[in-house]
Amino acid sequence: MRTGIGYDIHALKKGRKLVLGGVAIPFNKGLAGHSDADALYHALVDALLGAMGEGDIGAHFSDTDPAFKNAGSALFASKTKALLKRKGWSVANVDAVILAELPKMGPYREAMKKNIARDFGIALDRIGIKAKTNEGFGAIGKGDAIACWATALIEKSTKSEARSTKQIRN
Ligand code: MG
């Protein structure tokens, strides 16, 4: 088994759509970034890549690559899902925290979980999402940014893990 941790933060700006967990959330500001700036998906991708020992989101999906300009983060998720499969990993669970002063995330939590289940290939009961405010502190507390933390636990059958360890020794 391996664990990974991921973190992401994006600024909230007028004139941008707010997309978190693949859900378009009605709000007067949205997250700014090269892609759709879905901080929850980005934190999850980093947690899963970290667990696999595969670097980070920037190494796989460069923010200067025009192919990813305004890209839906579902693309990053599906590429991460494919890498997990190719390396023989399955996801035991992921857990995430959204830090946002506004809007309230509760009404969108189930839709986010469904999107994550579909795009990352993780069973619904293996996905946790919590939402907290930052109690008014700092940029997040002022409503200038939204941040997300995520952890992932991935597992392999003992046989395939033994094989990959042997490959490293050789
Ligand atoms: Mg990001």
What DSSP letter does each residue of 123-146 carry, written as one string? -GGGEEEEEE--TT-HHHHTTSEE
Asked whether residue 170 carries a pLDDT value surpassing 70, the answer given is no
* Contact yes or no for 148/98 (Cβ under 8 A): yes
Taking residues 79-95, report their average pLDDT: 97
Distance (angstroms) between ligand 1 centre and the Cα of 66 equals: 15
pLDDT of residue 86: 96
Q: In angstroms, what CA-CA distances link 22 with 88, 148, 169?
A: 26, 14, 40
Distance (angstroms) between ligand 1 centre and the Cα of 1 equals: 26
Asked whether residue 98 carries a pLDDT value surpassing 70, the answer given is yes
pLDDT of residue 106: 95
Distance (angstroms) between ligand 1 centre and the Cα of 17 equals: 14
Does the global pTM surpass 0.85? yes
Taking residues 61-74, report their average pLDDT: 80
pLDDT of residue 137: 98
Distance (angstroms) between ligand 1 centre and the Cα of 19 equals: 12
pLDDT of residue 34: 85
pLDDT band (50, 70, 90) for residue 55: very high
The pLDDT mean for the chain works out to 93
Distance (angstroms) between ligand 1 centre and the Cα of 46 equals: 10
